[in-house]
């Protein structure tokens, strides 16, 4: 028999968030272990804070104990009732576990506000408590099942330590990363996406991670036309005066379904490496070949090696059909040009019910999972090509949980760029080697 909770993901999440971001570990289940409260207490004493959830025909109610149940010892009890997605609570006050679970025979008939009678499969509650929990008067609560959970912090010291270690190893991997075959010194990653998706914000977040505190080199705005109107290629230092990291993030004008966004021909020139840093985009026409920011013979190092489409997680459902067509058309052109691309979902922490504790195992959250599947369905990205991040916006100091998401996304882009470099036609690699030889000879 499987010992699993009856709670849906949504109800479990509501309870978790309500009682302070707890992870719930099932300890006892009436329909499996029996409705004998003595046995229940044997299993559930000395387990730290616990949550007891009672399922009746129409209601989910329960009790949260802030301290361990211990024989004869008073614990502070908070009652709750969960109806649809709303939770109401009522502080019961101090109570011994024997009283709460009707194990104290001598006090069985004493007046009490709330008791869980396992043997008779019912909850004993007075009118005042019913009223305070928002339950209808005179309703009887018969117990179909009850479950007792241990409550642990979602982000406890142990996990934070693990996240910090993971962050450290990711940082090290990115600092020491070498592009495939050392064909270039720095991977160029183009950030492409609708206006307001968080492209510049992602760059700032990456830079913040390596600086050690939150920075704002690329201006980020909230106006609807978008602030990024220049083409920017950002090299990032490892620390304040450190050496440059082996990747460059390229930021461009946002995409728009109307006329205001990035010009389609400009995308080709960006990919090819023809556009110089700080070129001022014109949404109406692409760069002219005689423009002083036009590079007419770009080499491999000037090219874009990976494209990252950046989407706001909460905006995808509102994409117009024109935007979807536009993104798909760009993807097709990337395919023809042989450029690999990945997707990046930002603002994941603004999604409903998502808390910081969820960011550690973000792909296990059902709302995030269904968002990934939406990107796959609408835009055609493989699940393995979609990363999820939470950019820095209002913070001053770094958070290792966010850092891990940002660094993992970056690593995925570098892996994709390696695929691109590995797939280059031999003549391009040969040309590059000739360039290297010429440089070496020139230096002698």
Q: Which residues bind other proteins (CB under 8 A)?
A: 1-4, 25-27, 32-33, 42-43, 46-49, 68, 150-153, 156, 158-159, 161-163, 165-166, 180-181, 328, 331-332, 334-336, 340-341, 363, 376-377, 380, 382-385, 415-416, 418-420, 422-423, 425
- Closest approach of Cβ 356 to other proteins, in Å? 15
> Which is closer to other proteins, CB of 122 or CB of 411?
411
In sequence order, the 6+-apart residues with CB closer than 8 A to the CB of 240 are: 211, 212
Cβ contacts of 370 within 8 Å, gap of 6 or more: none
What is the C-alpha to C-alpha distance for residues 411 and 170, in angstroms, rounded to an integer?
8
CB closer to other proteins out of 147 and 251: 147
Query: Whole-number minimum distance, CB 268 to other proteins, in Å?
Result: 17
Distance CA 92, CA 78 (A): 5
Which of 26/295 has CB closer to other proteins? Answer: 26
Measured in degrees and rounded to the nearest 5, phi and psi for residue 258 equal: -95, -155
Residues facing 145 on adjacent strands: 55
Q: Which is nearer to other proteins, 275 or 362 (CB)?
A: 362
Measured from the CB atom, the residue of 26 and 300 that comes closer to other proteins is 26
Residue nearer to other proteins on the CB measure, 203 or 420 = 420
- Which residue lies nearer to other proteins by CB, 123 or 342? 342
- Output 288 or 332, the one with its CB closest to other proteins: 332
CB of 406 to other proteins, least distance (A): 18
CB of 107 to other proteins, least distance (A): 25
Residue 424 beta carbon to other proteins: minimum distance, rounded to whole angstroms:
11
Distance of CA 86 to the CA centre of its chain: 24
Q: How far apart are CA 125 and CA 141, in angstroms?
A: 9
Closer of 19 and 231 to other proteins (Cβ): 19
Q: Which is nearer to other proteins, 40 or 248 (CB)?
A: 40
400/393 Cα distance (integer angstroms): 15
Nearest to 75 by CA among 101, 107, 56: 101
Cα–Cα distance for residue pair 384/307, rounded to 1 Å: 15
Closest approach of Cβ 321 to other proteins, in Å? 15
Distances in whole angstroms, Cα of residue 245 to Cα of each of 31, 78, 176, 186:
57, 52, 9, 7
Closest CB 94 distance from other proteins, rounded Å: 18
Min dist. Cβ of residue 168 to other proteins (A): 10
| Residue 337: CB minimum distance to other proteins, A | 10
CB of 171 to other proteins, least distance (A): 14
Structure-block tokens of residue 42: 């044997």
């Amino acid at each position: 028999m499987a010992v699993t909770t009856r709670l849906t993901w949504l109800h479990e999440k509501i309870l978790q968030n309500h009682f302070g971001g707890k992870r719930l570990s099932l300890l006892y289940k009436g329909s499996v272990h029996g409705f004998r409260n003595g046995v229940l207490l044997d299993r559930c004493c000395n387990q730290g804070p616990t949550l007891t959830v009672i399922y009746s025909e129409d209601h989910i109610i329960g009790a949260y104990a802030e301290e361990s149940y211990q024989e004869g010892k008073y614990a502070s009890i908070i009652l709750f009732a969960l109806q649809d997605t709303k939770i109401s609570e009522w502080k019961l006050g101090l109570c011994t576990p024997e009283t709460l679970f009707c194990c104290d025979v001598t006090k069985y008939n004493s007046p009490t506000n709330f008791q869980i009678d396992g043997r008779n499969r019912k909850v004993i509650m007075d009118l005042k408590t019913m009223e305070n929990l928002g339950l209808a008067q005179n309703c009887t609560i018969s117990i179909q099942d009850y479950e007792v959970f241990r409550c642990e912090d979602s982000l406890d010291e142990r996990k934070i330590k693990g996240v910090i270690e993971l962050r450290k190893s990711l940082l090290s991997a990115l600092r020491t990363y070498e592009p495939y075959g050392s064909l270039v010194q720095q991977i160029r990653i183009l950030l492409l996406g609708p206006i307001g998706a968080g492209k510049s914000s992602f760059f700032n977040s990456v830079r913040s991670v390596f600086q050690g505190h939150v920075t704002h080199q690329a201006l980020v705005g909230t106006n609807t036309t978008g602030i990024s109107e220049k083409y920017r290629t950002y090299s990032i230092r490892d620390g304040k005066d450190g050496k440059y990291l082996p990747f460059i993030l390229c930021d461009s004008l946002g995409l728009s379904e109307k006329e205001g966004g990035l010009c389609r021909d400009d995308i080709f020139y960006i990919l090819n490496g023809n556009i110089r840093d700080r070129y001022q985009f014109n949404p109406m026409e692409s760069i002219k070949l005689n423009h002083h920011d036009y590079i007419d013979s770009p080499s491999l190092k000037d090219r874009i090696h990976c494209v990252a489409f950046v989407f706001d997680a909460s905006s995808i459902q509102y994409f117009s059909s024109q935007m979807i067509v536009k993104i798909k058309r760009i993807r097709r052109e990337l395919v023809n040009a042989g450029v690999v691309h990945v997707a990046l979902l930002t603002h994941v922490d603004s999604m409903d019910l998502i808390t910081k504790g969820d960011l550690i195992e973000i792909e296990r959250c059902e709302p995030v999972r269904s968002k990934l599947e939406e990107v796959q369905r609408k835009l055609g990205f493989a699940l393995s090509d979609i990363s999820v991040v939470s950019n820095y916006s209002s913070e001053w100091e770094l958070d290792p949980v966010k850092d891990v998401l940002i660094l993992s996304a970056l690593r995925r882009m570098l892996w994709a760029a390696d695929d691109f470099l590995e797939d280059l036609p031999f003549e391009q690699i040969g040309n590059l080697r000739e360039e290297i030889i010429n440089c070496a000879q020139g230096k002698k």
